[in-house]
Amino acid sequence: MPPDASAVREFDGRSFADREIFRRTIAEHAQPAVVRGAVRHWPVVRLANESAEALCDYLRKFACDALAEAFIGDSAIAGRYTYADDLEGFNFERVKVTLSDALARISANAAVADGPTMYVGSLQTSIFLPGFAAENGLAAVPKSVDARIWIGNRSDISCHNDTFDNIACVVSGRRRFTLYPPDAVADLYVGPVDYTMSGRPISLAAGAPADDPCYPRFPAAAARATSVELAPGDALYLPKLWWHRVEAADAFNVGLFDRRRRVGALGHIAVVFGRPDQRQPSRTVFLHQPSDDGNVSFTIGTPMRPEKQQNRLATQAGDGRRLGAEPYGRVQLWRGLAFQAQQVDILLDSLLLRGPGVSFELGS
């Protein structure tokens, strides 16, 4: 049976008292769980509750001169960092800044209503805030885990998943997480897989208008979604491969993620259109999880408007299955696909799509 996304369990801070309690009460169930007040005792949370200035001063105490990548968006995007309409680029600018500079610019933006936004994400605290984790840690998480920090103005982070278990801890501002179970992937229209914003492909449908004709299957995913709101001091346990959209509505937001076990044996993806020296990112590949009958679908093209959508190719797991697929030629599944129950680990030995002017390879 697929995971039930109708509700998220809630616990109090005692669930994080030590690793064994956390494992037994939360992690073993492999379901999202909210722990209210889990990190309200952290010094960084206490200072954030005092003021944004006190929070920034505390973070600057640890900040070094390492350069981080920051997203900058103008007021028109309202903190929703995503692709441009044609998928050829993005609606934000990337810059390199020190964390101290980022804090100053984020603070300045927060003082301007409906102004520009900045966002720095997934920064390893061991690199950018050495010493921070020693004062702000969880007993349930091994000290070897390198926590990552997210700092920014209001933002709407596109729906994606991770190959790690995550514990998302809110330091400052309120955050809404909209969650979809791993096997909702077939209805989320995930892509592009070869041209991502920051490493993981996103759901194009989750951030689109509800009636967008490009994504007719999305209502099935939306019906399985659930949302949780976290206040400063709260934490969310998010198992690997659960899809999540994160909205931070406040002018100044800080969140921390502790990442645990990574999913192994994921296939790598190589996409080439035309000759290898003539890559065309506008023609991309969107991968969907198999349905109950074992079918796996690939959309080749740019599904932004119905008239631009290209053919969908379906392959049946099993050696030597071939299907016609105009205009891209035939599809051959050489050695099959394997899917691990409720992990959606795609173990891809050698799947090769050939046709006039296009080749697409998936391999382990």
Name the pLDDT band for 364 (thresholds 50, 70, 90).
Answer: very low
Place of tokens 């932004």: 304
| Strands annotated E in 6-147 | 9-12, 33-36, 67-73, 93-98, 117-124
Distance (Å, whole) CA 245 – CA 55: 25
Distance (Å, whole) CA 304 – CA 220: 19
Encoded tokens for 178: 């909209």
Kindly report, residue by residue over 233-251, the tens digit of the pLDDT.
999 999 999 999 999 989 8
Residue 218 pLDDT > 60 = yes
Mean pLDDT over residues 91-116, rounded?
A: 94
Q: How many CA atoms lie within 13 A of 138 on its CB side?
A: 33
Higher pLDDT, 260 or 284: 260
Closest CA to 175 of 11, 34, 29: 34
Encoded tokens for 56: 């920034």
Mean pLDDT over residues 342-359, rounded?
A: 30
Kindly report, residue by residue over 305-341, the tens digit of the pLDDT.
333 333 333 333 322 222 222 222 222 222 223 222 2
Task: Confirm if 296 and 176 have CB atoms less than 8 A apart.
Answer: no
Residues 6+ apart with CB under 8 A from 80: 73, 91, 155, 156, 158, 207
The fraction of the chain above a pLDDT of 90, given in percent, is 51
pLDDT at 269: 25
Cβ-in-10-Å burial (0-12, 13-18, 19+) of 30 comes to middle
Reduce the DSSP state of residue 253 to 3 states and report it: strand
pLDDT at 198: 83
Distance (Å, whole) CA 271 – CA 124: 30
Mean pLDDT over residues 194-209, rounded?
A: 87
What is the SS3 string spanning 160-171? ECCCEEEEEEEE
Name the pLDDT band for 6 (thresholds 50, 70, 90).
Answer: low
Distance (Å, whole) CA 187 – CA 203: 9
Kindly report, residue by residue over 151-183, the tens digit of the pLDDT.
999 999 999 999 889 999 999 999 999 999 999
Torsion-angle region of residue 357: left (phi > 0), alpha (psi -120 to 50) or beta? left
Place of tokens 């920014």: 152
Higher pLDDT, 266 or 228: 228
Place of tokens 């296939």: 267
Kindly report, residue by residue over 249-275, the tens digit of the pLDDT.
898 889 987 766 544 322 222 222 222
pLDDT at 259: 66
* Ordered structural domains, the chain, with CATH: 9-181+224-262 (2.60.120.650), 268-363 (no CATH)
Distance (Å, whole) CA 158 – CA 313: 26
Residue 89 pLDDT > 60 = yes
CA distances from 27 to 10, 146, 240, 347 (A): 13, 19, 11, 24
Task: Confirm if 48 and 172 have CB atoms less than 8 A apart.
Answer: yes
pLDDT at 265: 26
Number of helical H runs and strand E runs in the chain: 7, 25
Task: Confirm if 117 and 109 have CB atoms less than 8 A apart.
Answer: yes
pLDDT at 39: 95
Distance (Å, whole) CA 223 – CA 140: 33
